[in-house]
Amino acid sequence: MSTQRIFGGQTKPGATDWQQFGDPAAGDSGIFVDVDTSSGNFSTTPIYLASLGGSNDHWTVTGTSSIYNATPYGFSGSRNEESNQRLLDAIKRGTWGAVQSLRRESHEPSDTCWLHGDNFCLSTLPVAEASSAPD
């Protein structure tokens, strides 16, 4: 029988070890931070959710928090201009209320994808249909 656990944490406000990747001169760059979750004592890789917070001006960041290299012990979180633009375009469509499920299985983008990423999809399909949708 599987159990569900919730574990939360945060980086130290004002002291997050953001690092740059890519080539800013070529317009292909972003920032990332490695997050240690080993104190959660996970035996398998959990589903991680990350967000950006702050007390001022963080609202100017138009983008999505992306999870990379997820393991039971941590992940890398990053932001980049391509992801920022895709999310901004989706928000401008004004249809956020249509999102009904988070799809994690691999599938091709379709008209049910509100925001489609490499390893996730915010979908307009109800949860039951999303879990049985063909790839």
Question: What digits encode the pLDDT tens for the residues 16-68?
Answer: 888 887 777 776 677 788 888 888 888 888 888 777 776 666 655 654 567 77
87-118: b or e for each residue (b if 16 or more CB lie within 10 Å)?
Answer: beebeeeeeeeebbbebeeebeeeebbbbbee
Region 106-122: mean pLDDT is 85
Q: List, for residues 60-105, the tens digit of each pLDDT value.
A: 565 456 777 888 888 776 666 676 677 778 878 878 788 888 888 8
Tell me, what's the pLDDT at 95? 81
Region 4-8: mean pLDDT is 76
Q: Contact at 8 Å (CB) between 112 and 125?
A: yes
Tell me, what's the pLDDT at 42? 84
| CA 102 – CA 120 distance, rounded (Å) | 7
| CA 133 – CA 113 distance, rounded (Å) | 12
